[in-house]
Amino acid sequence: MQKVFADFIHTLRQQGVPVSPAETLDALKVAELLGVQERHQLRHGLGLVLAKNQQDKQTYEHYFDEFFKFTEVTPSTKGEDSEGEKGEDGIHEPSEPNQDLSANGDGPSDISSSSGQGGGESEDAGESESELMLSGDLAVQAQSPLGQMLQAGDAAEIAMAIARAGQQEGVQNIQLFTQKPLFSYRMMNQMGNEALNQELLELDASNELAQQRLASRLRNAQAHLQEQVRDYVEQQYLLYAEAKGQQLRENTLQKVKLTNIDNHYAHQMADLVRKAAKRLASLHSRKRKLRKRGLLDVRKTIAANAAYDGVLFHTRWKTTVVDRPKIMVICDVSGSVSRVARFLLLFVHSLQEVLPRTRSFVFSSDMGEVTNLFKDQSLEEALSDIMTTWANQSTSYDKALADFSEQALQDVDQKTTVIMLGDARNNNGNGRADIWQKVYQQAGRVLWLNPEHINSWDTGDSIMASYRPYCSELHCCNSLRDLERILGNLLKHS
Amino acid sequence: MIIKHADKIASPEVLQGAFEQRGYICSDAIATAVYLACHLQKPILVEGPPGVGKTELAKVTAEYLAAPLIRMQCYEGLDEAKALYEWKYGKQLLYTQVLKDQLGDVMRGARGLDESVERLHSFGDIFYSEQFLETRPLLQALREPDGAVLLIDEIDKSDQEFEAFLLELLSDYQVSIPEIGTVKAKSKPIVFLTSNNTRELGDALKRRCLHLHIPFPETHLENQIIASQVPDMDENLRGQLVDFVHELRQMALKKVPAISESIDWARALLLLNVDNLDEKWVRDTLSLLLKYQDDIEIVEPELRKIMNQINA
């Protein structure tokens, strides 16, 4: 049972539900307490300890159903299938399948059996005896172990064998969908497929009718088995690896340069940016304190002076420290950065959610404040609005900075962090570095994040050098990971 | 406490039945959660929209187990002096003044400073002892000899620091008071924490709790709830009412009506002798269900459509 739970929890972790070891222990205690007979109750009970927010709960419920459906249904379907096959051969009494179905129907919630097939086994036991007797009527017996098993046709045993082979071959470690055939092949071999093939060849060679009949029967069964194995691998893949592929993609996307990301991935990228921003939010949104002075804290004062016979020596003041950084983000959306502009804007938007006192500006030549636009509209609308209104003009840092000094320079103070997202490609204008100097003098900190690699700075019409003296920090920022790291640092120190 | 009531918490079904008798209709998930909390001795963190009966769950549990309910309402700025314990400073001051002369008597005859201090030490910490301790809800819950039901209401409203402070209490049922030492629970209380999700709670807190999310109930469950709370109501009208509220919950409103609002509405309709829910009545009493003028303005034009839907 522990193994099943461990596998299940592993699956949950794969799907992004954070389950700690302590919670795993809790889950085992819950299962012990509730028993595994009441599937419904167990589902609620495990949900209480394993999934601790609503999103996780949904994931949990989905995978609980998936995971334990697999174990309970397998024996019965397998039973039916093989039954049907024998029915065609005309060996089996027609009454048997019904009996089998009802027998399996009794134990739908039997999830205790270690891989689910154990429960089926005992129910099928009576049936498999009759099977053996029937096959005993045939003059010829299969020689290879797998052949014998197939001839016996015990669904439960076959399913057990499949699970055993799967475990030995480590199907749980499947990573990519391309590995599915490989694992199926290995599992078949593990179960003794080669010996069976050998035997089939020998049977084909003989001229006796009984032997040839056996060969064709075994072939059928073999094909059927192959299908079962494929199904098994498929299920395991869905349980263990589906999320891994996704993770792999996400990891890669994080590292790839923003300029090189295909539009096709833009949607996934948006999700990633949101995730990153949420992570930043949960890490840093707690520093919300403001110092409030001037109120005497009577209780604390008396307590502090109890030692002096109640004479008020020391005063204690009520303080609550609330300290929230003020941030201004300026984002270049002109043609030269158009490929990354969307992502930068995405991040600006997320940043604004994290730090409510963020003001956002965009420009290519005219500068406009978009703080309210982000606040009032949904992200998609805001982005398309910005791109149509502000983007696609030729860049002019001159004009933009002049606008900035008009609109916001008076609000820049020592507590403000100014972040510029842009490539400093100014179409050979002079750049008005004097304004940037003023910003630098007034602000607490000035960050410049350039999407271009450091080697391309100051080449062509890039005038990074003239702004460089007036930045407290300068970073090359061209992947999501860079962005996250830099802003994480920013939030840590603010 | 658990041992005393072993038969009362024999299985989730028993709990469900008993709660039902007390007018609290609960889903299987809720009954299972309470059952597990009793047996595993873990706190339950109850989340869900306002008005689905989170606080009520703690109350009914306390009533059923015949344990005192100790309630602590959280708010911003709540600290351990208000939650756990405080010294009775006034009393301490008064006593020092009164005992000043006594102190002189005691010290009389002592030679040198060392001996005086020695004598003082032999009296122990009189001023920091039980008599001067003002217990607050958390300490009270720990010191209850037969166990208690502790309700920490709206934990999300409290500060980060307070949440961290609760960790020791929730995992080991003990707290440390510097002057006295560690206070361990005489009998472990059953703890309910409720949260409206105004902020995400820390993982450490969540890890220590069973996490129960109470959503808005399904139609048949809500039907039962109203039947038990407002028993005189006509069955037909009740069905209409529940359907109507469910329709409202599908709409994009600022605050959708919760169970408590449905119950209020049901009582109002009963009082007004309404026997069939029609548009006029709904329009007149809509303010009972919706608490924002904006919401009412959204719903009013749609009323006919909704009424047609629920009568269909």
Res. A114: pLDDT tops 50? no
- Smallest CA–CA distance, residue A112 to chain B, in Å, is 20
For residue A310, what is the nearest residue in chain B, using CA coordinates? B93
Query: Which residues in chain B are contacts of A61 at CB distance < 8 A?
Result: none
Query: Which candidate from A22, A286, A306 shows the least CB-CB separation from B89?
Result: A306
Residues A357 and A324: their CA atoms lie apart, in Å, by 8
Per-residue pLDDT at A109: 39
Residues B19 and B207: their CA atoms lie apart, in Å, by 27
Size of interface A-B (CB pairs under 8 A): 67
Question: Which two three-digit tokens encode residue A118?
Answer: 């154990």
CA atoms within 13 A on the CB side of A362: 30
Query: How large is the C-alpha radius of gyration of chain B?
Result: 26
Query: Which residues in chain A are contacts of B210 at CB distance < 8 A?
Result: 48-49
Q: Which of B9, B40, B52, B127 to mutate to test the interface with A (most CBs of A within 10 A)?
A: B40
pLDDT in tens, A146-205: 888 887 777 778 888 888 888 888 877 777 777 888 888 888 888 888 888 888 888 888
- Listed as ranges, residues in chain B with pLDDT below 50 are none
Question: Which two three-digit tokens encode residue A187?
Answer: 């599992």
Query: Which candidate from A45, A282, A303 shows the least CB-CB separation from B89?
Result: A303
CB within 8 Å: B28 and A41: yes
pLDDT confidence band for A99 (50 / 70 / 90):
very low
Better-scored residue on pLDDT, B169 or A350: B169
pLDDT in tens, A463-483: 888 888 888 888 887 777 777
Distances (CA, A) of B294 to A162, B251, B279: 61, 13, 19
Q: ipTM of this predicted complex?
A: 0.80
CB within 8 Å: B28 and A29: no
pLDDT in tens, A284-299: 555 444 444 567 777 8
- Smallest CA–CA distance, residue A50 to chain B, in Å, is 8
Mean pLDDT for chain A?
Answer: 73
pTM (2 d.p.): 0.60
For residue B42, what is the nearest residue in chain A, using CA coordinates? A26
Per-residue pLDDT at B190: 92
Query: Which residues in chain A are contacts of B196 at CB distance < 8 A?
Result: none
CB within 8 Å: A49 and B210: yes
Query: Which residues in chain A are contacts of B212 at CB distance < 8 A?
Result: 48
Residues 224-243 of B with CB under 8 A from A: none
Q: What number is the average pLDDT over the span A80-89? A: 39
Q: What number is the average pLDDT over the span A114-118? A: 39
- Smallest CA–CA distance, residue A23 to chain B, in Å, is 7
Total residue length of chain A: 494
Query: Which candidate from A44, A299, A306 shows the least CB-CB separation from B29?
Result: A44
Element (H, E) at A183: helix A180-190
Place of tokens 């595993």: B40
Is B207 in the A-facing interface, judged by CB distances under 8 Å? yes
pLDDT confidence band for A260 (50 / 70 / 90):
low
Residues 67-96 of B with CB under 8 A from A: 77, 81, 86-87, 89-90, 92-93, 96
Residues 128-157 of A with CB under 8 A from B: none
Residues B237 and B273: their CA atoms lie apart, in Å, by 11
Q: Provide the Cα torsion B77, B82, B86, B90; round to 10°.
A: 90
- Smallest CA–CA distance, residue B234 to chain A, in Å, is 33
Is B204 in the A-facing interface, judged by CB distances under 8 Å? no
- Smallest CA–CA distance, residue B166 to chain A, in Å, is 18
Q: What number is the average pLDDT over the span A417-439? A: 83
Query: Which candidate from B28, B92, B206 shows the least CB-CB separation from A52?
Result: B206
Q: Phi then psi for A474, rounded to 5 degrees?
A: -130, 125
- Smallest CA–CA distance, residue A49 to chain B, in Å, is 5
CB within 8 Å: B36 and A53: no
Question: Which two three-digit tokens encode residue B172?
Answer: 């080991």
CB within 8 Å: B211 and A49: yes
CB within 8 Å: B210 and A302: no
CB within 8 Å: A48 and B211: yes
Share of chain A above pLDDT 90, in %: 0
pLDDT confidence band for A246 (50 / 70 / 90):
low
Query: Which residues in chain A are contacts of B213 at CB distance < 8 A?
Result: 54, 57
DSSP A349-412: HHHHHHSTTEEEEEESSSEEE-HHHHHHS-HHHHHHHHHHHTSSS---HHHHHHHHHHHTGGG-
Question: Which two three-digit tokens encode residue A9?
Answer: 């929890």
Res. A126: pLDDT tops 70? no
Is A292 in the B-facing interface, judged by CB distances under 8 Å? no
Per-residue pLDDT at B19: 92
Per-residue pLDDT at A452: 82
Per-residue pLDDT at A381: 80
